[in-house]
Amino acid sequence: MALNTKALVDRLKRTGGSLLILIVIVVVMTLIDKRFLSPENVRNILRIGAITVIAVYGQTFVMLTGQIDLSMGAVASLSSVIIGLVVVQLGWPLFISIIFALLVGALVGLVNGVLVFHFGLPSFITTFGMFTSLSGFASSLTGSTPIELAGLCNIGWIGRGFVGAVPIPIIIAAIAFIILHLVLNNTGYGRTVKAIGYNRKVALLSGRKVKLIGIITYVLSGFLVGLTAVLMSSRIYCAHPDLAPNLAFDAIAAAAVGGISMQGGKGNLVEATIGALIIVALLNGLTLVNVTTYMQMVTRGLVIIVAVALNNVRTFGFANVTGISFRRKKVGVEV
Amino acid sequence: MKKALQQRTDKNKEGVIAQLSRMKSSIDWFQFGAVGLLILIWLIMYFSTPHFGNKFNQINLMRQASVLMVAAAAQTFAVIAGGLNIAVGSSVALSAVVSAAVSLKFGTAAGYIAGVLTGVLTGFLLGVAVGIFRVDATIGTVGLMAVAQGLAFQVTRGRPVTGLPQTYRIVGMGMWGGVPILVVVALSTIILVHIFLSYTVWGRNIYAVGVDEEAARLAGIKVRWYKILSQVLSVSLAAWAGVLLSSRINTGIATIGAGMHLEAIAAVILGGTALFSGEGNVLKALIGVMIITILNNGMDLLHVSHYLRDILLGLIVISVVFINTTLKNR
């Protein structure tokens, strides 16, 4: 097999920037606090990273189609609450409750997808409305109190268990990566996802089933958020109506830092993975040096804005994006 | 060459003008529906709760509407610029706590000014990201939402700021010959904004940039500057709403704006504005503001739980956008 070196170099250039950011964060955090690179902390980062990255994959797929999913935090809460209700109220086994959680995620994704792709509603406002509604719904189901699961079922092994020395979430994330990576790059579905984001009209005119593919993408995203919720709930042994309110922020920030284009069409899961690691490492490091959760929230926001700005600069060049040129303008050239 | 460019520019200018005038004539029955809905909700609330119709509650209603009115004006700016300001609620929260905290030390006037200045500052940062670095405006506000919310909690460490100076609540709770001062202030803000948007060159240029950036550029409008300006004005107005709100409740609480994110959007789209098309009108949003406020007030009186209200608000927004979109695509 002939190696396509040009493509490889291109890819390295694209991911190199975000990889560099990750390395800088690791080095700086280690210099500030040695505990950052201790085996326990690294394992912790990887485990949380593995849980987060699954949601990031969902967001990445949606963003590749040129849309966005702001409802993630609420979907995760709802899925988590469903696990608790199925186990506690119905007394059904854990296995079934997990299936329910995944289905709930997929169902919300279906609603989002139909609204956005079939009826053509703007995704920002639709998924934001969904976020508000579902947050209220999840809280109302439990009266805003978490449901303790520790004594009721052995949910803990999913989020906390090991196979050999490898935490189970990492294995799940790795499987998700392999499957989704293959789907994105080697199937007609994956190519259409990118095509829709790149130019929806062209995708439509070339006979792609834009609406169907878009809806499937939202379902996939919802399903992946459901999976994230299962892992998160398992890690804290309870079903929580306020499980991860910032999940959508984290996912968007991670995708943006990784280099996924906000306009859609450009990006891959390697970038998404690096982005997720950057966000998790950053937040973990900030926790280590006693930065408040409030300032971590601020950091998330700044990261989103700065990352998108950097992406634009990286893709189009500083002068083209900002219109600021440090070179002397040539005189006498008419526009 | 120059002539060709001139022709192209003229053509684009005509296009922008045609689009703008089309907007003006697009007062359709969606708005009649909204007014009908407003009256219907008012009547339902009037007959289902004994206290809704009394004078005190109606004055209270006007006060509640005032703050949302200004927040909706903030949202309108973002919508006209072609985006959406998801951060209205957190900008409200940030300026509310900053204004309250500063007024504790330096007095009321300084507090108000500091509150608005936080908006100008954060709005400028957002504007630079959007105008200079071409960050998508809506994505930018997603970031700003996290930033402002985090800062609001950080400033107060999550505790409400109370014990404000006596004068702090005058704007929010004072009366001026039978009319709440807050209502006067909010209405004058709205009118000023409307005059700015409709009758000044800057305002018209903001519209033009929102409708078609490229056409606006060819027509000689400094696109980047107007993009920055619209973000600054949007966030500053949200901050002004925050100051008014903190004055009304005489406290600065970081959780204050949580509901307002969506309410401001809901008010604008209930007024019949289609999102992401560069249209928008502050006065149109007034109908939406009244609907949302009456719903909130009525549900308070009916002891509807907060969860249910969230669920309802989300559903309202989605269904209104749904109606709006399907009408447009008909």
Q: Residues A223-238: pLDDT tens digits?
A: 999 999 999 988 888 8
Q: Is B227 on the interface with A (CB under 8 A)?
A: no
Number of H helices, E strands in chain B: 14, 2
Tokens 């109220």, residue? A89
**Which residue type sits at A233?**
S
All residues of chain A having their beta carbon less than 8 Å from the beta carbon of residue B317 are 125, 128-129, 132
Average pLDDT value for chain A: 86
Which pLDDT score, from 0 to 100, does residue A163 have? 79
| B3 falls within a domain | no
Residue B24 lies in a domain: no
Whether the CB of B146 is below 8 Å from some CB of chain A: the reply is yes
In this complex, which of A122, A249, A312 lies closest to B275 when CB atoms are compared?
Answer: A122
Q: What percent of chain A has pLDDT over 70?
A: 94
- Count structural domains, chain B: 1
Residue B75's pLDDT band, with cuts at 50, 70 and 90, is very high
- pLDDT tens string A57-81: 999 999 999 999 999 999 999 999 9
The partner residue sitting opposite B151, judged by closest CB among A119, A144, A298, is A298
Task: Report yes or no on B144 lying in a domain.
Answer: yes
pLDDT digits (tens, 9 = 90+) for A72-128: 999 999 999 999 888 888 888 888 889 999 999 999 999 999 999 999 898 988 999
* Pairwise CA distance, residues B274 & B265, whole Å: 11
In a domain, B5, yes or no: no
Indicate the burial class of B312 (C-beta count within 10 angstroms; 0-12, 13-18, 19 or more): middle
What would the mean pLDDT of A229-249 be, rounded to a whole number? 87
pLDDT value of position A68: 92
ipTM of the complex: 0.84
In degrees, rounded to 5, the angle at the alpha carbon of residue B251 between the alpha carbons of residues B248 and B254 is 110
CA distance A127 to chain B (A): 9
Please tell me if residue A188 touches chain B, with a CB cutoff of 8 Å: no
Q: Is the pLDDT of residue A204 over 80?
A: yes
- Chain B partners within 8 Å of A294 (Cβ): 150-151, 153-154, 158
A241 has pLDDT over 90:
no
Interchain proximity B307–A302, CB inside 8 Å = no
Phi-psi bin for A207: left (phi > 0), alpha (psi -120 to 50), beta? Answer: left
**Mean pLDDT of all residues in B262-287:** 83
Answer yes or no: is B263 within a domain.
Answer: yes
Confidence of residue B115 (pLDDT cuts 50, 70, 90): very high
Alpha-carbon gap: B313 to the closest alpha carbon of chain A (Å): 7
Q: Tell me which H or E stretch contains A163.
A: strand A162-163
For residue B87, the enclosing domain spans 29-328
Question: In A213-324, which ranges are E strands?
Answer: 238-239
Instruction: Give B234's Cβ-side CA count (13 Å radius).
Output: 37
The secondary structure of residue A240, as a DSSP letter, is -
| Cross-chain Cβ contact B321/A125 below 8 Å | yes
| Residue-level pLDDT at A74 | 94
Residue with token string 């040695």: A34
Angstrom distance (rounded) from CA A112 to CA A215: 8
- How many pairs of residues across A and B have Cβ atoms under 8 Å apart? 161
**What six digits make up the tokens of B298?**
């009525």
B164 φ, ψ (degrees, to nearest 5): -75, 160
Residue B22 maps to a domain: no
Please answer yes or no on whether A133 and B313 come within 8 Å at the CB atom.
yes
Whether A93 contacts chain B with CB within 8 A: no
Residues B219-239 have a mean pLDDT of 92
- Read off the CATH number of the domain in which B191 is found: 1.10.3470
Arithmetic mean of pLDDT, B297-306? 86
Residues 7-66 of B with CB under 8 A from A: none
Is B259 within the bounds of a domain?
Answer: yes
Q: Is residue B17 part of a domain?
A: no
Residues of A in contact with B1 (CB under 8 A): 334
